[in-house]
């Protein structure tokens, strides 16, 4: 079981798994033995389901595609192909193209990894707190547009759905106050510059905490301590501090 | 007005304080000399540093930046107690690779290539300033389009996107690899 778990982790997605199976079976990407590969793919999928990994959804679509291709290949060809050319309606063609395309980017990602590695050998004279600076350069707080309270409510109700309903024990154990949540948001902003609604949301454990958090946000907005912006309609909601009067940085 | 001997020192001072790659234009805005002169002064500094200093000038993200020579990495790492930020995940690198070659590109298009939902990854990349939103695509739903940032170039030590090899180069590599596996099979 554990063995599987470790191995499963290396697959970023269904295409990754397929490429792995192709390599493992030492077959050509252009001539995939679809029945074999499909069976092996489904075996992995089964393990993933047993482990209840939440990535399974992405893999199911590909399973359906594979089974569809398999069934099409089993069907007798209507038109007999006279010359030994590959019939141009090879049911695998689209999958091959996708795999090839994906493979290119996997290689490109490997190149980026090398570059990242090289970069870790050199040090800049000025090291910001985090290597990838969150607040300077392209100003993340300026993109998108100011979100309305309704956008916030929409995000709130949307996110509320994801919170387990029967978490009452936790509610009794912990006390959440609006003040505490306000402080939490401000301290997070001090450190990060910008925070994303969904990220903060992921830490929330109960409905009561969610409600308190939401009230804290509303209060902070009223006090003009924070601003919210949305990347696109119904997009991600960002929380940041109102821009201070420009400091004399730059030169 | 600066005299000639000062120019090099001024550029050096600017490089010293800049926390971002410094472009020739930025230098020009400070000292009124033409670009070729700025560049030749930078070249001179480069030579001097290589002769007797432990830092270098690297050309990155369309500018110049003072960095340490890689050979001193072991000591610097010790000094920062390995404090360099963690590496990007495989998913993040794959997604960045797709964005860098296909930009501007929408999330559904990236998802189509990767075969995996990219919402979470893209959010993190946006947060880290490695990608940015450039606008909306004029198709149904008007999805947002994304592109890489200057920060992306700086992070990967690239001067411009043109430095990335052609995607077809990777195809060639694949075909060679593929032939290898075929050969092995025939063995």
pLDDT tens, position by position, A172-204: 445 678 888 888 888 888 888 888 887 777 777
* pLDDT score for B177: 55
Range of the domain at B127: 90-186
| Phi, psi for residue A37 in degrees, rounded to 5 | -60, -40
Residues B63 and B145 in one domain: no
- The half-sphere exposure of A154 on its side-chain side, counting CA atoms within 13 A, is 11
Residue B64 lies in a domain: yes
Residue B153: pLDDT over 90 = yes
pLDDT level of residue A2 (50, 70, 90 thresholds) = very low
Residue whose tokens read 């002064």: B41
Predicted pLDDT of residue A130 = 45
**Same domain (yes/no): B171, B99:** yes
With a cut of 60, say whether residue B108 has pLDDT above it: yes
Quote the pLDDT of residue A214. Answer: 82
Please tell me which residue, B37 or B86, carries the higher pLDDT value.
B37
Average pLDDT of the residues in A212-222: 83
> Where residue B54 sits, what CATH number does that domain have?
1.10.10.10
Q: Kindly state whether residue B25 falls inside one of the protein's structural domains.
A: yes
CB nearest B129 (choices: A109, A138, A231): A138
What domain count does chain B have? Answer: 2
Contacts of A142 in chain B (CB under 8 A): none
Instruction: Please state the rounded mean pLDDT for residues A63-78.
Output: 83
B37 located within any domain: yes
Entry field: residues in chain B: 187
Q: Is the pLDDT of residue B158 over 90?
A: yes
| B58 and B95 inside one domain | no
pTM summary value:
0.63
Whether B107 maps to a domain, the answer reads: yes
How much is the pLDDT for A201?
Answer: 76
Q: Mean pLDDT over all residues of chain B? A: 86
pLDDT at B179 over 60: no
In chain B, DSSP finds a helix count (H) and a strand count (E) of 9, 5
A126 lies within 8 A of chain B by CB: yes
In a domain, B134, yes or no: yes
Residues 43-102 of B with CB under 8 A from A: 55-56, 58, 65-70, 72-73, 76, 80, 84-85, 87-88, 90-91, 93-94, 96-98, 100-101
**Which among A105, A137, A231 has CB closest to B97?**
A105
Same domain, B50 and B132: no
Lowest mean pLDDT among A38-42, B84-88, B167-171, B172-176: B172-176
Tens digits of residue pLDDT in B53-84: 999 999 999 999 999 999 998 888 888 775 55
pLDDT at B77: 83
Cα–Cα distance for residue pair B22/A116, rounded to 1 Å? 21
Asked if B123 and B97 sit in the same domain, the reply is yes
Q: Answer yes or no: do B166 and B100 share one domain.
A: yes
Buried b (16+ CB within 10 A) or exposed e, B27-62: beeebebeeeebeebbeebeeebeeeeebbbbebbb
Q: What is the tens place of the pLDDT at every residue in A7-25?
A: 455 577 889 889 888 988 8
Q: Which residues of B touch A127 (CB under 8 A)?
A: 80
Return mean pLDDT, chain A: 74
What is the distance between the alpha carbons of residues A241 and A170, in angstroms, rounded to a whole number?
31
Q: Which of A14, A55, A134 sits opposite B129 (nearest CB)?
A: A134
Q: Mean of the pLDDT values across residues B21-38?
A: 91
Domain boundaries, chain A: 2-76+86-119, 140-240
Higher pLDDT, B173 or B171: B171
Let me know if residue B85 belongs to a domain.
no
Instruction: Give pLDDT, residue B66.
Output: 92
Per-residue pLDDT at A164: 58
Its ipTM equals 0.83
Residue B83 lies in a domain: no
Q: Same structural domain for residues B101 and B37?
A: no
Instruction: Give the confidence band of A246 by pLDDT, cuts at 50, 70, 90.
Output: very low
Most confident of A31-45, A135-149, B34-48: B34-48
- Do B74 and B101 fall into the same domain? no
Among B78, B101, B127, the domain-final residue is: B78
């Amino acid at each position: 079981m554990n063995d599987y778990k470790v191995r499963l982790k290396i697959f970023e997605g269904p295409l990754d798994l397929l490429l792995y199976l192709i390599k493992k079976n030492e077959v050509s990407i252009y001539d995939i033995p679809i029945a074999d590969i499909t069976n092996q793919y489904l075996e992995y999928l089964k393990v993933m389901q047993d482990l209840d990994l939440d990535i399974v959804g992405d893999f199911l679509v590909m399973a359906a595609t594979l089974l569809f291709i398999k069934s099409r290949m089993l069907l007798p060809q209507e038109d007999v192909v006279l010359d030994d050319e590959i019939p141009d309606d090879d049911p695998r063609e689209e999958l091959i193209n996708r795999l090839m395309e994906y493979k290119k980017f996997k290689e490109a990602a490997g190149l980026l990894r090398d570059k990242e590695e090289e970069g870790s050998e050199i040090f800049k004279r000025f090291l910001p707190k985090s290597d990838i600076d969150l607040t300077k350069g392209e100003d993340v707080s300026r993109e998108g547009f100011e979100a309305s309270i309704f956008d916030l409510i929409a995000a709130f109700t949307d996110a509320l759905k994801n919170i387990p309903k029967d978490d009452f024990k936790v509610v009794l154990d912990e006390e959440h106050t609006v003040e505490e949540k306000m402080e939490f948001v401000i301290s997070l902003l001090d450190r990060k510059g910008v925070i994303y609604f969904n990220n903060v949301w992921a830490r929330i454990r109960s409905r009561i905490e969610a409600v308190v958090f939401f009230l804290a946000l509303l209060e902070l907005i009223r006090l003009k301590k924070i601003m919210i912006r949305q990347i696109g309609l119904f997009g991600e909601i960002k929380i940041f501090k109102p821009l201070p009067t420009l400091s004399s940085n730059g030169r | 007005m600066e005299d000639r001997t000062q120019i090099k020192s001024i550029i050096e001072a600017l490089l010293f304080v800049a926390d971002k790659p410094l472009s020739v234009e930025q230098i020009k805005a400070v000292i009124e000399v033409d670009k070729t002169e700025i560049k030749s002064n930078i070249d001179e500094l480069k030579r001097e540093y290589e002769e007797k200093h432990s830092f270098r000038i690297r050309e990155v993200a369309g500018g110049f930046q003072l960095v340490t020579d890689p050979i001193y990495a072991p000591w610097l790492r010790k000094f920062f107690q390995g404090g360099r930020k963690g590496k990007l995940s495989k998913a993040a690198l794959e997604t960045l690779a797709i964005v860098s070659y296909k930009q501007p590109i929408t999330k559904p298009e990236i998802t189509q290539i990767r075969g995996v939902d990219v919402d979470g990854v893209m959010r993190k990349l946006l947060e880290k300033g490695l990608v940015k939103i450039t606008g909306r695509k004029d198709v149904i739903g008007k999805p947002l389009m994304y592109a890489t940032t200057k920060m992306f170039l700086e992070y990967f030590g690239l001067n411009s996107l043109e430095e990335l090899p052609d995607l077809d180069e990777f195809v060639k590599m694949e075909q060679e690899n593929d032939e290898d596996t075929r050969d092995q099979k025939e063995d």
